[in-house]
């Protein structure tokens, strides 16, 4: 098997259509009763628009197909790892932190905003009968330090800009326990400049909605496959007005992003979110996007009532598949003008499985290891601008394989179909004929 990386940049959907349509469908009793049109100035949120992210650079260390994984081992397979990319000369993961020389001097970043950037992720492997089998997940490992150049429009019209910071807040821990937040005291001054960010982890398991199988016939017939690493960057970087002085006086165990602690602003990217889709080389991978809104996300402060949120959910399928069965899912939460809580909360995150995901009937979208039914009976639509309603549950306190840590909350959503488009291919996977086994000397000796 050889892997050749091709462009992965995706066309951005016009999500304004969905947000506008949802606003007409949703009636917010809390907002109407208070006569509000915007959130209070002390609780302003916003997100990066389609053109708000200039660059988004990661150091990818490895990618592998995974035969079995239940997610309990983090970014490790339970069985059947098959590496399809590995960085040469990998440095010390624990010392690749903001401000370190290893970060300052590193030049091998992969910019996910640059068309063709995945051409850097080129590896060559061959597969024989050892790799014949079924794979249910893709594991991508990346260093925790990454780089962002972005601007974020808040709901009150203020724009926040990333900067090349050199000073960081720290939780004063070491190794894998340390976290950082960059000190950005010119956050409201344009232009945006590429800056260093830090994540609490550097690997993630992406579960395939349909297991990928390499068969003996595939090897015999040299059947070529491809894998798309779909990534929607719109709204990936978020910002907010926060309580000033909180990090300087009381640093928490966990911190992230860039913070203006004096003025009370913060910029925080989400956790890297791919959708790996595997298909035959001759097939066309499609993306189908919906915008959803709700008034029903519970908040910890009961006096605020339920939290209004919007979100994007994209299903990926193969055009030539008559059932258009869902092969992968990406999701991202949007703040709207009524959002009053959370900075990096994603109520539609962690989608693990789509049950009965054909286009013919309704589908269930399951969240997390506990398989919480985020959406029950979701009906896929085919006409741009059409809308529907769907109910489900959200696990606000985290979950285990046994279920939600506390009772899941019921949530109702309205949603609008904003379009479908072709997804670019990221990796081309070619089968190669393995060399014949060496001759047995004993068989040719007189």
**Does some domain include residue 213?**
yes
Asked if residue 51 has pLDDT above 60, the reply is: yes
Distance CA 88, CA 112 (A): 20
**Does some domain include residue 442?**
no
Domain that holds residue 294: 2-432
- For 75-94, what is the mean pLDDT? 72
- The reported pLDDT for the residue numbered 1 is 32
More confident residue, 41 or 199: 199
| Dihedral of the alpha carbons of 377, 381, 385, 390, in degrees to the nearest 10 | 0
**Does some domain include residue 366?**
yes
Strands 60-68 and 351-355: unpaired
- For 203-210, what is the mean pLDDT? 82
Measured in residues, the chain has a length of 446
| Dihedral of the alpha carbons of 18, 19, 22, 24, in degrees to the nearest 10 | -110
Distance CA 373, CA 205 (A): 20
Confidence of residue 163 (pLDDT cuts 50, 70, 90): very high
Q: Please report the DSSP string for 255-311 in residue order.
A: --SEEETTTTEEEEE-----EEEEEETTS-EEEEEEEEEEEEE--SSGGG-SEEEEE
Distance CA 367, CA 329 (A): 11
**Does some domain include residue 444?**
no
Using a 10 angstrom Cβ sphere, with 0-12 exposed, 13-18 middle and 19 or more buried, the burial of residue 129 is: exposed
**Does some domain include residue 393?**
yes
Spatial CB neighbours of 6, under 8 Å, sequence gap ≥ 6: 116, 118, 119, 424, 425, 426, 427, 428
Can you say how many angstroms the Cα of residue 398 is from the centroid of all Cα atoms in its chain?
Answer: 18
**Does some domain include residue 437?**
no
pLDDT in tens, 218-261: 888 888 787 777 777 777 888 888 778 767 666 677 778 999 98
Strands 168-170 and 180-183: antiparallel
Strands 168-170 and 237-241: unpaired
**Does some domain include residue 438?**
no
Distance CA 71, CA 206 (A): 9
Asked if residue 306 has pLDDT above 50, the reply is: yes
**Does some domain include residue 441?**
no
Spatial CB neighbours of 58, under 8 Å, sequence gap ≥ 6: 109, 110, 112, 142, 143, 146, 272
How many domains are there within the chain? 1
Tokens representing 386? Answer: 């059409």
Distance CA 53, CA 32 (A): 34
- The reported pLDDT for the residue numbered 353 is 84
pLDDT in tens, 383-411: 888 888 899 988 776 666 667 777 788 88
More confident residue, 28 or 198: 198
- The reported pLDDT for the residue numbered 345 is 65
| 330, 232 Cβ separation under 8 angstroms | yes
Distance CA 328, CA 208 (A): 6
More confident residue, 344 or 307: 307
Distance CA 335, CA 297 (A): 12
């Amino acid at each position: 098997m050889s892997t050749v990386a091709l462009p992965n940049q995706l066309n951005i959907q016009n999500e304004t259509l969905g947000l506008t349509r949802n606003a007409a469908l949703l009636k917010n009793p809390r907002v109407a009763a208070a006569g509000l049109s915007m959130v209070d100035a002390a609780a302003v949120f916003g997100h990066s628009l389609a053109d708000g992210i200039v660059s988004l650079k990661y150091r990818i260390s490895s990618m592998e197909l995974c035969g079995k994984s239940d997610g309990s081992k983090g970014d490790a397979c339970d069985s059947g790892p098959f590496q399809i990319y590995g960085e040469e000369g990998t440095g010390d993961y624990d010392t690749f932190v903001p401000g370190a020389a290893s970060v300052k001097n590193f030049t091998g970043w992969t910019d996910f905003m640059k068309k063709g950037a995945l051409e850097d992720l080129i590896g060559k492997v061959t597969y024989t009968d050892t790799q014949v089998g079924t794979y249910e997940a893709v594991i991508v490992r990346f260093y925790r330090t990454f780089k962002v150049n972005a601007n974020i429009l808040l709901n009150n019209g203020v724009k926040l800009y990333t900067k090349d910071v050199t000073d960081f807040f720290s939780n004063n821990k070491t190794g894998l326990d340390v976290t950082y937040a960059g000190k950005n005291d010119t956050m409201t001054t344009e232009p945006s400049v590429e800056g260093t960010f830090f994540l609490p982890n550097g690997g993630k398991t992406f579960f395939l909605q349909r297991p990928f199988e390499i068969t003996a016939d595939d090897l015999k017939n040299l059947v070529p496959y491809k894998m798309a690493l779909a990534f929607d960057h719109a709204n990936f970087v978020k910002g907010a007005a926060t309580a000033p002085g909180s990090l300087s006086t009381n640093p928490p165990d966990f911190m992230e992003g860039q913070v203006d602690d004096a003025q009370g602003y913060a910029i925080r990217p989400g956790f890297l979110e791919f959708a790996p889709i595997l298909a035959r080389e001759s097939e066309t991978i499609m993306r189908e996007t919906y915008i959803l809104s709700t008034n029903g996300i519970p908040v910890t402060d009961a006096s605020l009532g339920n939290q209004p949120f919007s979100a994007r959910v994209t299903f990926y399928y193969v055009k030539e598949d008559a059932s258009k069965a869902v092969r992968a899912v990406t999701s991202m939460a949007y703040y709207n003008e009524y959002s009053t809580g959370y900075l990096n909360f994603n109520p539609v995150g962690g989608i693990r499985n789509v049950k009965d995901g054909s286009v013919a009937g309704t589908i269930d979208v399951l969240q997390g290891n506990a398989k919480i039914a985020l959406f029950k009976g979701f009906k896929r639509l085919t006409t741009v601008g059409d809308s529907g309603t769907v109910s489900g549950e959200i696990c606000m306190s985290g979950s285990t394989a046994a279920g939600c840590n506390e009772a899941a909350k019921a949530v109702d959503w309205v949603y609008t179909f904003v379009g479908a488009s072709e997804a670019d291919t990221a990796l081309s996977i070619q089968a190669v004929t393995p060399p014949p086994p060496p001759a047995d000397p004993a068989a040719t000796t007189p």
